[in-house]
Amino acid sequence: MPHRYYTGEKVEMKIDGQVHELPVVVGTEGEKAIDIRTLRASTGYITLDSGYANTGSCISNITYLDGEKGILSYRGYDIADLAENCTFVEVAYLLDHGSLPTRDELSQFSQMLNDFAMIHEDMLRFFDGYPPKSPPMAILSSMVNSLCSFYPEMTDNPLENIDKMSARLLSKVRTIAAFSYKKSMGHPLVYPRHDLSYCANFLNMMFDSPVKPYEVNHKVVAALNKLLILHGDHEQNCSTSTVRMVGSARVNLYASVSAGISALWGPLHGGANEAVMEMLESIHQGGGNFRQFVERAKDPKDPFRLVGFGHRVYKTFDPRCRIIKQACDEVLDDLKVVDPLLDIAKELEEVALKDDYFIERSLYPNVDFYSGIIYRAIGIPTNMFTVMFALGRLPGWIAHWKEMWDDPAWRISRPRQIYVGPLSRPFVPMDQRGL
Ligand code: SDX
């Protein structure tokens, strides 16, 4: 496949006495991969890489990560610059379109988000069917999948409607998230308003009420914009790879994103932000003795892990964590909120980072370690933290799904395996089994 990333460089692989040449792909930042697409046909061998820690699934223009240097950029822009200077809607546009929007482009995009903010009134009945304690991520995943039933035209000719589908999804997921919270509280729904920005609208839908109007606090809006931007994309993480995997079978955007939401739910992935708060809360309830948690995390016989620590790619500080940690102090100070969990988190980080177990394994705080402190300070309930992660990650999922659909070399994702089960054996009729 003629790609400007093939420099002509090759590697040699000697298999069963024969030397095989495989082409090398070189990325923008010099990252190299061995293209093994002809390996099985020419050698009969496949590669094995459980968890895909050494395997690239695609070539992508969207996000660059350097796990050793702690670098993260979206379409070439460093996330620190984006988090400092943009709104989430600007960054969502950047991720999905490849460039920062002009003033006019941003105004048109914002208008589309407003136009698509409502969900079909028939969808409201779904909320009545969920038991009161339904997990918000389960509701979100099924409601997003239901969008295919209400907007089938968007899935028949996807690429002609991709801008509409993206705006529809970005706007409606925000409404579904807020409505599911109001439903869980037994409070009346608050509808989106066209006079509020994306994040202000979400906060108003979450916290406004007929008896106590919500006053939009611009510092809270700024904090939420920053958090959603920092969650915008993260190359081939578990949930994004899931969106690509499901979408690769030519599944529409809504159903592909619904699968991504389910993957993000896991406590090893996006669900970690809720688990961090539960861990910090139990340390606090136990009198602040976080050392026992550090010791448990180090014990190979104990399945407990220090949630919010460690990362498959980052072997230094997660750059998002640095920004969020600093924002914690600013937001809590702005809102005059004192949260003992922040001090516990900082002390826990300090102790862990000095411990050989964590140092030897390059375990640092990740994006989930501090984010819950801010969500809590702005009033988001803990069981909605992973929903907030999904809101932020949505533009990244959309961008990757679209990039895959646009790729002329795209094929359905279907990994191979090595079978280690029983050798072929004769069938045993029921009356001879167990004899
Ligand atoms: C996210 O992929 C992404 O980009 C994800 C994400 C995104 O933006 O999409 O960044 C978001 O999911 C962040 C991660 C949130 N999860 C957690 O905080 C859960 C706690 N962390 C771990 O479970 C773990 O670190 C993972 C899941 C994040 C990474 O797992 P890996 O890469 O498979 O690492 P591993 O399990 O092979 O661990 C290597 C070693 C092991 O010890 P040894 O067997 O070598 O003795 O490090 C240990 C692990 O036991 N280890 C931990 C640990 N994380 C790894 N030990 C204690 N506490 C931890 N948190």
Q: How many CB atoms lie within 10 A of CB 357?
A: 14
Tokens, residue 116: 């698509």
Residues 6+ apart with CB under 8 A from 230: 79, 83, 320, 323, 324, 367, 371, 392
Domain boundaries, given as residue ranges, for the chain: 6-56, 87-410
User: What separation in Å is there between the alpha carbon of 309 and the centre of ligand 1?
Assistant: 7
Catalytic site includes residue 368:
yes
Q: What is the pLDDT of residue 76?
A: 98
Q: What is the pLDDT of residue 155?
A: 64
Residues 6+ apart with CB under 8 A from 232: 74, 79, 82, 88, 91, 92, 95, 392, 393, 395, 396
Report residues whose beta carbon is within 6 angstroms of any ligand 1 atom. 51, 234, 237, 268-270, 272, 297, 305-313, 361, 363, 366-368
With left for phi above 0 and alpha for psi between -120 and 50, is residue 57 left, alpha or beta? alpha
Tokens, residue 16: 């069963």
Angle between helices 385-406 and 88-97 (to 10 degrees): 20
Residue-by-residue DSSP string for 35-49: --TTHHHHHS-----
Q: Which CATH number fits domain 87-410: 3.40.50.300, 3.30.830.10, 1.10.580.10, 1.10.8.80?
A: 1.10.580.10
Low-confidence spans in the chain with pLDDT less than 70: 1-3, 154-156
Q: How far apart are CA 416 and CA 194, in angstroms?
A: 49
Beta bridge partners of 22: 11
Q: What's the pTM?
A: 0.97
- Of all protein residues, the one whose alpha carbon is nearest to atom 45 of ligand 1 is 361
Q: What is the pLDDT of residue 158?
A: 73
CATH class of 6-56: mainly beta
Catalytic site includes residue 233:
no
